[in-house]
Amino acid sequence: MTDIKHAPPPLEPPPSYETAAQSPSRANGFLSKGLMNRAPLPLDLPALNAIRGKRVILASASPRRKQLLSQIGLSGLEIIPSPVPENLPKSLSPFEYVLQTATRKAMSVYAAQINNTELGEPALIIAADTVVVSSMGEILEKPRSEKEHIAMLKNLRDSGEHRVFTAVAAMAPLESAREPGYALETTVEETSVKFDRLTTDDLLLAYVKTREGADKAGGYGIQGIGAILVERIEGSFDNVVGLPLRGTLGVIEKVLNHGDDLEDEFAEVLDEDE
């Protein structure tokens, strides 16, 4: 179990505000030294500091989720997509559907990697699942054909607001022998999205032919060309992209702290027995 009580300090101190406020400028035809593509420093938080340099697995092949996690300083992720099929009954509520799917994804990768003798056990596993739910309550995942894709987007345009649900599951192994041997925390976030009803069929067809939305629940990417279809949202933007960052950071902190709390309780029980 990762110990967040003795987290390492950040790799470097933050720059002065004068330096941070400068934009890359040209001097004698060259960009000023040190100002080219300067990225923000990673968040200085105990939970994130504790897992830097350790095995952190993203149980998803989604480049969008990987990019979002890099924004909070989780770079160098190990990408191991879960083989669990997204085939739970659509009779489940959207909340339960994404929650159960994300949890199953995390647990399948955990089971496959916890006894990895070559790389060692992972410090953290993150899994997620996103679905779009029409105004009629139908759970929409990725379109399987161009015809289905066009019909899906027309339905979202014509039916008013739809909802996007994303569940995030975080798992971390425990050092103690206490069952079940891991800590698990989950969260589910919901965002309402409304397409512009004046969007023409020609625009929908043109968007479908870009294939941007072919690998996305609901058939569109709000972070890309698909933004042209959206009139407004209510809730988290990154939840619609596929990973609510605030909620994800929350479960990461909880699962690491939860593991420490369980181990402290276990140690107390052993002391009492002695």
Which pLDDT score, from 0 to 100, does residue 43 have?
85
Q: With 70 as the cut, is the pLDDT of residue 120 above it? A: yes
Beta bridge partner(s), residue 256: none
Summarize the confidence of residues 82-98 as an average pLDDT. Answer: 92
Summarize the confidence of residues 126-137 as an average pLDDT. Answer: 95
Q: What share of the chain has pLDDT > 70, as a percent?
A: 80
Answer yes or no: are the C-beta atoms of 100 and 91 closer than 8 Å.
no
Q: Are strands 30-31 and 230-234 parallel, antiparallel or unpaired?
A: unpaired
* CB neighbourhood size of 186 (10 A): 20
Q: With 50 as the cut, is the pLDDT of residue 30 above it? A: no
Which amino acid does the sequence have at 75? S
Which pLDDT score, from 0 to 100, does residue 271 have?
53
Q: Which long-range contacts (CB under 8 A, 24 or more apart) does 206-213 make?
A: 207/153, 208/146, 208/149, 208/150, 208/153, 209/146, 213/143, 213/149, 213/153
In this prediction, residue 1 has a pLDDT band, given cuts at 50, 70 and 90, of low
Summarize the confidence of residues 247-257 as an average pLDDT. Answer: 95
From CA 205, how far away is CA 38, in angstroms rounded? 39
Q: Are strands 78-79 and 139-140 parallel, antiparallel or unpaired?
A: unpaired
Residue 143: exposed, middle, or buried by beta-carbon count in 10 A (0-12, 13-18, 19+)?
buried
Select from 249, 243, 237, 256 the least CA-distant residue to 43: 249
Residue 160 falls in which region: left (phi positive, over 0), alpha (psi -120 to 50) or beta? left
Digit-coded pLDDT (tens) for 173-226: 987 756 778 999 999 999 999 999 999 999 999 999 999 999 998 999 999 999
Which pLDDT score, from 0 to 100, does residue 27 have?
44
Q: With 60 as the cut, is the pLDDT of residue 11 above it? A: no
Q: Are strands 230-234 and 182-195 parallel, antiparallel or unpaired?
A: antiparallel
In this prediction, residue 12 has a pLDDT band, given cuts at 50, 70 and 90, of low
Q: Which residues are catalytic?
A: 129
3-state secondary structure of 28: coil
Higher-scoring residue by pLDDT: 109, 38: 109
3-state secondary structure of 188: strand
Which pLDDT score, from 0 to 100, does residue 258 have?
72
Between the CA of residue 228 and those of 15, 155, 174, 203, what are the distances in Å? 37, 16, 46, 9
The two three-digit tokens of residue 46, written as one number: 């105990």
Q: With 80 as the cut, is the pLDDT of residue 263 above it? A: no
